[in-house]
Chain A
């Protein structure tokens, strides 16, 4: 006897984003639960864990922000291998403002967010015409270049960096600032990409010639997406600077470029929620594996390989499908 898997959609009304969703409690819950439960769960966790894991969660939030930023760029057809650029520029702007101008974090973080967005957009403006791997190579090279410039010219503390920067009021404050920022960015990006504006961004990724002949300046749209993505990355850098009370060359390290991409791949790209989920799995996992000792990276790598092979679509897409569809085995009739 042969069987095949049958998939049946459920809750189609709730998924049409139409007014139907408001007609019944069941349908409202259907939409509400997958959003509310993870958020409440996350905040519950923050109340239960100690200072060490709170620090881990802060760094998780930072990587989640970088992953969200990467996902937005990818949605607009720009593949970035240099999230460290956004992170590092935000971190250095904050550090410089705090160290040399004695500005409080209340000002340095917002200025670094907007300023970092502007600086990174201007740095990448000349290469907006490049596509795919060519754009990616430039984003890969820029943070490496900036690091050497700082090393060679000894500006901004050179190899020593700037230490003794102002801290934020408490670990909990840092944590909630990070997590709230992640949620705000997540829901903003998710909404944005489904508007007609977001449609143009996705259009540029899929067929930029068709967008051009539609009388739309794709470079202007790409620059806007780049600004949003780099501002989010710069905010992450600024937050981390005040958490460590230090800024130095490590902010341009490859970790900040690669881990966000790994997060997006493990979590599932294109939905933002997936990228965030990926960061919330990978960063704590990497910390938890510290107990293993020398083989940590091996286990970490193994985990990445298993996930990309077993769930190439990403964890989020997998669960989303399971949530929206019934699956059952039925006999094959001959």
Chain B
């Protein structure tokens, strides 16, 4: 019987910055349609892990397999071209451009052209549709406003739309909810749930544990670059090691 190839397979990924092991022999598997949470205290290597998977940083050791294909060390645009989209924690849009024009760049990519059968279509219209999907009010002027006047919440939504524009199969969200109010997060959760219903695979790096645990059924916990726990949220948070990582150990 043929063994099932995992959608994403990360094996003992390691990255050293000077004397610090930012990511230390981290391994995990991901099934298609799954939503994996990655949590851990500040500086535990979560963002570096994302950078390693998406090619922005080259690993010192370890491999990343995407749909059975070795993508370790590929250039970021090659990895994006294969269908892995990522949201940055720090949103840095093109401030002087209208919101919908910000989406033109992914819509202009070779991947989108290929998936649309060699034709780009009306990019402006597609961009506005995408912004509506992430909660920009359609019959308002919001999609046409320059990004510099948009509130942080809208910029975060736009970051999600930038990922969706690529028509990805795997989305990696690096602290999408950071800096948002409870209400804003609550209004964004249905968008993520909709993406899940479309069988997209998602990796969420989050500090907002309560919200994360509502949508994710499996989390991995990083501390000092090492994976210290993996499993369903409830079990993971019961683990002694995770408690120690978050609250500090009693002996110290």
Contacts and interface: CB of A to CB of B under 8 A. Distances in A.
Contacts of B111: 215
Interface in A176-218: 196-197, 199-200, 202-203, 206-207, 209-218
A213 to B, nearest CB: 5
Nearest to B97: A199
Interface in B104-124: 104-106, 108-112, 123
A206 B101 CA distance: 14
B244 to A, nearest CB: 35
B162 A210 contact: yes
Listed residue (B105, B109, B165) with the most chain A CB atoms within 10 angstroms of its CB: B105
Interface of B: 54, 56, 75-77, 80-81, 85-86, 88, 92-94, 97, 101, 104-106, 108-112, 123, 162, 165-166
A218 to B, nearest CB: 7
Contacts of B85: 213
Contact of B104 (A196, A207, A209): A196
Contact of B92 (A202, A210, A214): A210
Interface of A: 196-197, 199-200, 202-203, 206-207, 209-218
A203 B92 CA distance: 11
A307 B108 CA distance: 40
Contacts of A206: 92, 94
Contacts of A207: 92-94
23 contacts: A199-B101, A200-B105, A200-B108, A202-B94, A203-B105, A207-B92, A210-B92, A210-B93, A211-B105, A212-B75, A212-B80, A213-B77, A213-B80, A213-B85, A214-B80, A214-B109, A214-B162, A214-B166, A215-B106, A215-B112, A215-B166, A216-B108, A216-B109
Nearest to A217: B77
A199 B105 contact: yes
B88 A214 contact: no
A212 B105 contact: no
Given A209-B56, A209-B88, A213-B86, A199 B76 contact: no
Given A199-B101, A213-B54, A215-B109, 7 more contacts: A199-B104, A206-B92, A206-B94, A213-B76, A214-B77, A214-B105, A217-B77
B94 to A, nearest CB: 5
A282 to B, nearest CB: 28
B147 to A, nearest CB: 11
A196 B108 contact: yes
Contacts of B101: 199
Nearest to A212: B76
B124 to A, nearest CB: 9
